[in-house]
Amino acid sequence: MRPLLEIDRVSLRFDGLVALNEVSCIVEAGELLAIVGPNGAGKTSLLHCITGVYHASEGRIVFNGADITRAPAHTAAKRGIARTFQHNELFPELTVLENLLIGRHAFLDHSLLAAGLFVRPCRRWEIRQREQVEAIIEFFELEPYRKRLVGDLPYGTQKLVGLARAFVPEPRLVLLDEPGAGLNRQEKEDVARFLLRVRHEFSPSIIWIEHDMQLVRDLADRVLVLHYGSELACGSPESVLADSRVIEAYIGRH
């Protein structure tokens, strides 16, 4: 069976700067691939290439059998790819419920005129979207905050809202860019708990940029290590995190 995602010798250049240098990897259906490496290693650039924010200078990216190397960013959600960002990309002036409803925008199947008139198909559509969002709110234990403005919530809760929104559109592939950044140990453990539940109940494929090696060791199926835009190692957490090259280039610096 073909992997859900195939990244084949992808390079990304900005004038003389090489952000990625012939990076290759695959992600199987239901797999959690952790990407680690020092700052500036190209981790976020690789996610940008997958979602179409950047287009690879060379190489090819295939998702679910379709070549998405040059696909525009606005098509990612409809293809089944969702993403979180290192810094919360939420609307602070909207409630938790409203922020999550925005995550269903790719499923809009009627015109603006029909929406304005609020005809029966639109009403049915809105009910379906609300039901999906309410289920995610319950899953991520956000019921106490559903009508709170996101900007008024503690940082850790905002990060959880961002994580929840990534799963609202029922994606096949979720890209997580340091979901634990800025969180304390208890908050990181909450994120890990929800990721375990998500994998058990929804079985998405996940690409996860993370600096906490204990979380990587506990949760990842495989680990890809990037260093100066190139692949340094890829394999099981045990083998990769024990690799002398990885220890020298990354883990040994901390």
Residue 254 has pLDDT above 50, yes or no: no
Measured CA to CA, the distance from residue 166 to residue 86 in angstroms comes to 13
Give percent above pLDDT 90 in the chain. Answer: 74
DSSP, collapsed to helix, strand or coil, labels residue 114 as helix
Indicate if the pLDDT at residue 112 is higher than 70.
Answer: no
Burial class (CB in 10 A: 0-12, 13-18, 19+), 198: buried
Quote the strand ranges of the chain, DSSP E.
5-14, 17-27, 32-36, 58-63, 66-67, 81-83, 173-177, 205-209, 222-227, 230-235
Reported pTM: 0.89
In this structure, which CATH number among 3.40.50.300, 1.20.58.340, 3.30.70.1450, 3.30.43.10 belongs to the domain 1-80+171-254? 3.40.50.300
pLDDT in tens, 3-27: 999 999 999 999 889 999 999 999 9
CA–CA distance, 177 with 122 (Å, rounded to integer) = 34
Q: How confident is the model at residue 210 (pLDDT cuts 50, 70, 90)?
A: very high
Q: What is the tens place of the pLDDT at every residue in 119-154?
A: 576 777 778 888 889 999 999 999 999 999 999 999
Asked if residue 165 has pLDDT above 60, the reply is yes
Q: How far apart are CA 37 and CA 31, in angstroms?
A: 20
- Looking at the predicted structure, is the pLDDT value of residue 83 above 90? yes
Query: Which has more pLDDT, 23 or 86?
Result: 23
Considering Cα of 243, then 245, then 248, then 250, what sign does the dihedral take?
negative
- Residues 30-57 have a mean pLDDT of 95
**Domain locations in the chain as residue ranges:** 1-80+171-254, 90-169
> Per-residue pLDDT for 118 more than 50?
yes
- Label residue 107 left, alpha or beta by phi (over 0 means left) and psi (-120 to 50 means alpha): alpha
Residue 116: its pLDDT value, please?
54
Distance CA 6, CA 186 (A): 34
Compute the distance between CA of residue 76 and CA of residue 99 in angstroms, rounded to an integer: 18
Encoded amino acid at 176, one letter: L
Q: What are 7's strand-pairing partners?
A: 25, 61
How far, in Å, CA of 162 to CA of 180, rounded? 11
Residues in Cβ contact with 89 at an 8 Å cutoff, skipping those fewer than 6 apart: 162
Report the percent of the chain where pLDDT is more than 70. 92
Q: Work out the pLDDT band at 251, boundaries 50, 70, 90.
A: low
- The residues that bridge with 123 in the sheet, in sequence order, are none
Q: Read off the amino acid at residue 44.
A: T
